[in-house]
A = this chain, B = another copy of it.
Amino acid sequence: MSSSSLHHESPSRFQVVYRITRRNETSIESLARDLVIEQTVECPPESLSQEILGKRIVGEIQEMVPMDSIQGAFDVTVSYRSDTTGFTVPQFLNVLFGNTSIKNNVSIQDIRFDTSLHQAFRGPGFGVAGIRELLGVYGRPLACTAIKPMGLTTGQLAELTTQFALGGADIVKDDHGISNQHFHPFEQRVCACQEAITKANARTGKNSMYFPMISGRFDQLERQVQWAVRQGIRGILIAPFLVGPDTVRYLSETYNLIIMGHPALSGTFFHDPSHGMPPAVLLGTIFRMLGADISIFPHAGGRFAFTEKQCSDLANTLRRDEGQWKKSYPCPAGGMSLDRIEAMSALYGVDTVFLIGGAILKHPEGVLEGTRVFMDRIREHFPNEQARRVSDESPSSCELPARRQGFGPATVLRHKDYRWSDREVTAYKSDDSCSFRGISRQELTGPFGEQTSFDVRYFEIEPGGHSSKERHAHEHIIIGVRGTGKLLKGSVLIDVNIHDVARVATMEPHQLRNDSTEPFGFFCIVDHNRDRPIPVE
């Protein structure tokens, strides 16, 4: 690994701080060396060639600092070539912790991205400022509530949405267990709850938002999101470990949506402080990398076992400077009660989303009044709330990715008189300086979004016309369709009649000619990826 004399190139690198705890006599150097090999080349060191060593593919140990406070623990800073991640989320996570997750006594304390990774992963699309702009709410934390329980009817969930919104909540989200069950099917529910919040907004003058939970199958999920966006949804609730981390990154980058990250199924990563990733790294840095504008986590003292220190570390990580990434909101949750808002306000400060669900649902005076109390408590601690006009935006259904312009792939191209529907004729102008004369082309399939390795074109040559005389590495298959023409192959002239199939081989000089008195038409099939022709004199 001590390869400073070997490296021929200096590709950009990122750093990871691993806390490695020694449990036996194995030296920290040996543990660290095993780790950087496991996370990259995964080969016995003696089998590594000088070539691989010279490329500096193996992770490099930059620093090993013993921890005073933890027996046997060292903070080991490792750098990796950024391009070993392939600049994709799955392979990034693989380099970060893939196989080491199966080992013991390694915990990730920090990730320090280089510019190439800050650019490869865009981070939050809205962030703290962007969400305030959409809501028009400044000077206080945001208030979020959850519709539940699973098993209610769609109408009951929509009614809860109305009550929360009339009570003044900024965000009303699905409970994370509310998916696409038949009690409350996704499309029906999203439609009803979005309509409920729109109507409530018309009454309150606010701009509250409803976030549906996205937890559909791989092949349904994007259509669910598109459908929700068409209903006017501005954000979604999504759990990266339920649907796959890169799914979240993709949705954030592709749709103009606020991403609220949920920690479901992620808990074993931070269950043991000596192995995994603490919440600040997983729900902080990584969720933000995936595009989470808001990251939900259990506040200390609720139903879950987070400490105050873990919570404030996480909140700080979400809002720290991180390249060009926008800052994300921490969203403490997990069995919070209304009387804890004072302490939470002190701990998290203004750029926070408070999520209170159950405590409002069981409020003795009902959900509407419970939500009002929630809002009042927040305002007690943040009396300088400012509401601003929400800026006009383009309607969300227009923010779906644009369809490909022009013509789509062939379903069926109807033939009539040697023209095909949905396709254009390109007639080549020619004069005496041209290598061709009197020829037109229709591209039929291949360049219109088909996933074929070939293109099908129809050419037609007028009486007396001809194609360029040329050669190229790709081959032609020519099938006569109309009239009779001639194919010059090398020095041989071949008649091509209707449905004859002719081949032009690699680098064979060739030309198509029409010596007859009727048009000569033919299909010409070629490789989709092909070389440029070389003129032949």
Closest Cβ–Cβ distance, residue A460 to chain B (whole Å): 12
The answer to whether B149 touches A243, judged by C-beta atoms less than 8 angstroms apart, is: no
The answer to whether A479 touches B456, judged by C-beta atoms less than 8 angstroms apart, is: yes
A527 on the interface (CB 8 Å rule)?
A: yes
Interface-located stretch among A132-140, A216-224, A340-348, A511-519: A216-224
Distance in angstroms between the alpha carbons of A254 and B361 in the assembled complex: 42
Distance in angstroms between the alpha carbons of A237 and B204 in the assembled complex: 54
Instruction: Tell whether A216 pairs with B456 under 8 Å between CB atoms, given A40-B150, A415-B480, A500-B415.
Output: no
The answer to whether B453 touches A502, judged by C-beta atoms less than 8 angstroms apart, is: no
Interface-located stretch among A68-76, A163-171, A263-271, A374-382: A263-271
Distance in angstroms between the alpha carbons of A337 and B86 in the assembled complex: 30
Closest Cβ–Cβ distance, residue A231 to chain B (whole Å): 11
A369 on the interface (CB 8 Å rule)?
A: no
Interface string of A58-102 (1 = CB under 8 A from B): 000000000000000000000000011110111101110111111
The answer to whether A44 touches B415, judged by C-beta atoms less than 8 angstroms apart, is: no
The answer to whether B98 touches A264, judged by C-beta atoms less than 8 angstroms apart, is: yes
Question: A181 to chain B: which residues have CB within 8 Å?
Answer: 83-86, 91
The answer to whether B265 touches A268, judged by C-beta atoms less than 8 angstroms apart, is: no
Instruction: Tell whether A88 pairs with B47 under 8 Å between CB atoms, given A246-B244, A499-B415.
Output: no
The answer to whether A525 touches B454, judged by C-beta atoms less than 8 angstroms apart, is: yes
The answer to whether B101 touches A264, judged by C-beta atoms less than 8 angstroms apart, is: yes
The answer to whether A246 touches B265, judged by C-beta atoms less than 8 angstroms apart, is: no
A444 on the interface (CB 8 Å rule)?
A: yes
A249 on the interface (CB 8 Å rule)?
A: yes
A201 on the interface (CB 8 Å rule)?
A: no
Instruction: Tell whether A101 pairs with B361 under 8 Å between CB atoms, given A48-B149, A150-B41, A246-B217.
Output: no
Distance in angstroms between the alpha carbons of A298 and B103 in the assembled complex: 10
Interface string of A305-344 (1 = CB under 8 A from B): 1000000000000000000000000000010000000000
User: Whose C-beta in chain B lies nearest to the C-beta of A91?
Assistant: B179
Distance in angstroms between the alpha carbons of A495 and B223 in the assembled complex: 30
The answer to whether A177 touches B84, judged by C-beta atoms less than 8 angstroms apart, is: yes
Question: A52 to chain B: which residues have CB within 8 Å?
Answer: 149, 151-152
Interface string of A142-160 (1 = CB under 8 A from B): 0000001111100000000
Distance in angstroms between the alpha carbons of A219 and B254 in the assembled complex: 10
User: Whose C-beta in chain B lies nearest to the C-beta of A269?
Assistant: B268
Give the size range of A's interface with the partner: 35 or more
Interface string of A26-38 (1 = CB under 8 A from B): 0000000010001
Question: A91 to chain B: which residues have CB within 8 Å?
Answer: 177, 179-181, 215, 242
Question: A216 to chain B: which residues have CB within 8 Å?
Answer: 88, 90
Distance in angstroms between the alpha carbons of A501 and B177 in the assembled complex: 47
Distance in angstroms between the alpha carbons of A420 and B223 in the assembled complex: 29
Interface string of A450-473 (1 = CB under 8 A from B): 111110100000000000000000
Question: A217 to chain B: which residues have CB within 8 Å?
Answer: 88-90, 246, 249-250
Question: A57 to chain B: which residues have CB within 8 Å?
Answer: 149-151
The answer to whether A47 touches B268, judged by C-beta atoms less than 8 angstroms apart, is: no
The answer to whether B218 touches A244, judged by C-beta atoms less than 8 angstroms apart, is: yes
A175 on the interface (CB 8 Å rule)?
A: yes
Could you say which of B42, B177, B268 contacts A42, with CB atoms under 8 Å apart? B177
Interface residues of A in 484-537 (CB under 8 A from B): 487, 489, 494-503, 505-506, 523, 525-529
The answer to whether B456 touches A100, judged by C-beta atoms less than 8 angstroms apart, is: no
The answer to whether A503 touches B445, judged by C-beta atoms less than 8 angstroms apart, is: yes
The answer to whether B501 touches A410, judged by C-beta atoms less than 8 angstroms apart, is: yes
Could you say which of B239, B494, B529 contacts A98, with CB atoms under 8 Å apart? B239
5 smallest beta-carbon distances between A and B, as pairs = A244-B244, A101-B267, A41-B149, A102-B267, A98-B264
Given A104-B271, A218-B244, 13 other A-B residues pairs in contact with their CB atoms under 8 A: A34-B303, A42-B177, A52-B152, A84-B151, A84-B177, A98-B176, A99-B267, A244-B247, A268-B271, A271-B271, A409-B503, A412-B495, A525-B525
